[in-house]
Structure 1
Amino acid sequence: MGLDKEPGAAAAGTAQAGPPPLLELRELHVYYGVIEALKGVSLAVAEGEVVALLGANGAGKSTTLKAASGMLSPRTGEVWLRGERVDGIASHDLVRLGIGHVPEGRRVFPRMTVLENLRMGAYRLRRPDPADLERVFTLFPVLAARRKQVGGTLSGGEQQMLAIGRALMGKPELLLLDEPSMGLAPLIVQQIFEILREINAQGTTLLLVEQNASQALQLADRGYVLETGAVVMSDAAPALLSDPRVRAAYLGEVAD
């Protein structure tokens, strides 16, 4: 179901008084071959925020995260981190600059143990910080209990916890999360979102792609809605959650 595009929606949230946003995307155009996946996407994430990115399959949500983390290079447009332009910088260097990325599908190393997976997340550091490992085990006690178990034998929910924990080992200031609830049972989804809330409370900024719009907007401060590669709506999360167009398109309700 389509949403009517708001005037100026593509640039919504990018002009802010005071310090620059932690992350700012300016008019990103990204292509896969001749297919334009992002058509001028602009958004901003302030330090300490949780920002949700909503949209149907194929709307460009994962592409947006990949462009932000350096996994894809925009043909035109700019990526800014803490007021410095960073598009064109390799993804592993952006990790060093404070961006962590939890990809869709978790992508844990299946033949490595939980502990080895977590240590891989700290590869940018000379050696893993024991305090970071303790933080992950406190957030995810099941990982502490399974630290010697290989990643490929974990349940889907445990693998998602491991993927998030692995990203946290890199000490990110900004954590990009792509569909963390995908394929998980409702009780596990609730647990994951409670942990994300705690991660944010500990000082990590979150940019969240999520099909579960209700869960995402209950966690988020603000949100953007993508449709066919363009931002069509942006607002505070409570406003989006109560918007009849969003509720009809993403929460299964019938619009008046």
Structure 2
Amino acid sequence: MLLELVDVEVAYGAVTALRGVRLTVDNGEIVTLLGANGAGKTTTLRTISGLLRPRAGQVLLDGEPLSKIPAHQLIRRGVAHSPEGRRIFPAMSVRENLLMGAFHDRKHVAEDLERVFALFPRLKERVSQAGGTLSGGEQQMLAIGRAIMSRPRLLLLDEPSMGLAPLVVQTIFEVIAQINATGVAVLLVEQNAAQALKIANRGYVLETGQVVLEGPAGELLADDRVRQAYLGEDVGPPESPAAPPVQVGEKIL
């Protein structure tokens, strides 16, 4: 098991943001995390990458607790985080932004730059251009490219399609699949549930800081609750107001 969260609880002061969250990501998987705004998705990623510390529970990487490891050292352990909102350096060039992702290891910079440019040819065309002058889609490409410059084993992606045109969204998801095909595990927070579940192996649904549903991506994509809440489909009223506990695959909630 590459990543495991065990009963993780995170609070902002008196407000509890995550309650007993349990999830796993295995080597080579794409796992998506779905939920409404404020459900705790970004908090989950920030806790994994060390930007937040859990009040209770554990975050384990290769079975080792990460609670005492500073966030910047997690990059050396193979964890890279592409945050919501891209957070590129607007005054720095595309090349300089990408080099920031390789700050801990300069041995393979030329090779890694070419890898990023192969995934995102548009970045190569704009290599000397300031990051802040790029389009929204190009900035998202730059944010993902910067993350993979660190040669991660686990890539955390927070809302990579937010605010992008449909054609650009398609490109982003194709690249995520290509990155995963090289053996990089991906934990994907994404508002476009349909696209996320199409490329994911498994998924989790968060509501008010708790995992309320989990299972194989195909089963979640077909689940009426997911279709109605996250795909915008009208699936009609439930068969019974007193529904049994949620069951997806072998998981009973």
Quick check: TM above 0.5? Answer: yes
Answering whether residue 214 of structure 2 is matched by residue 248 of structure 1, we say no
Partner amino acid, structure 2, of 1:45: V
Equivalent-residue separation in structure 2 for 1:84 and 1:39 (angstroms)? 21
- Larger mean CA deviation between 87-96 and 214-223 belongs to 87-96
- Name the SS of the counterpart of 1:96 in structure 2: coil
Deviations 1:90-124 (A, max 9, x none): 11011110000000000100000000000000011
**What does 1:94-243 correspond to in 2, within 5 Å?**
94-243=74-223
Equivalent-residue separation in structure 2 for 1:75 and 1:127 (angstroms)? 38
Equivalent-residue separation in structure 2 for 1:129 and 1:58 (angstroms)? 37
Computed over aligned residues only, the root mean square deviation of the Cα atoms, in angstroms, reads 0.8
Equivalent-residue separation in structure 2 for 1:186 and 1:126 (angstroms)? 35
Answering whether residue 66 of structure 2 is matched by residue 86 of structure 1, we say yes
Equivalent-residue separation in structure 2 for 1:229 and 1:135 (angstroms)? 37
Counterpart of 1:61 (choices 41, 64, 87) is 41
Counterpart of 1:42 (choices 10, 17, 22) is 22
Identity %: 62
Change (3 A) 1:128 1:118: farther
Shift of 1:255: 2.8
Deviations 1:26-72 (A, max 9, x none): 11100011100001111000000000000000000000000011010
Aligned residues: 236
Deviations 1:192-250 (A, max 9, x none): 00010000001111000001100000010000000000000000000000000100000
Deviations 1:112-166 (A, max 9, x none): 0000000000011145521111100100000011000000000000000000000
The unaligned stretches of length 5 or more in structure 2 are 237-253
Alignment match, 1:71: 51
Equivalent-residue separation in structure 2 for 1:173 and 1:190 (angstroms)? 23
**TM-score, reference length from structure 2:** 0.92
Equivalent-residue separation in structure 1 for 2:108 and 2:52 (angstroms)? 28
- Name the SS of the counterpart of 1:52 in structure 2: strand
Contact 1:114 1:147 in 2 (8 A): yes
Equivalent-residue separation in structure 2 for 1:227 and 1:28 (angstroms)? 14
Partner amino acid, structure 2, of 1:154: L
Alignment match, 1:10: none
Name segments (4+ residues, structure 1) moved above 2 Å: 126-129
Partner amino acid, structure 2, of 1:120: M
Partner amino acid, structure 1, of 2:204: Y
Contact 2:99 2:109 in 1 (8 A): no
Equivalent-residue separation in structure 2 for 1:215 and 1:63 (angstroms)? 22
Partner amino acid, structure 2, of 1:235: G
**TM-score, reference length from structure 1:** 0.91
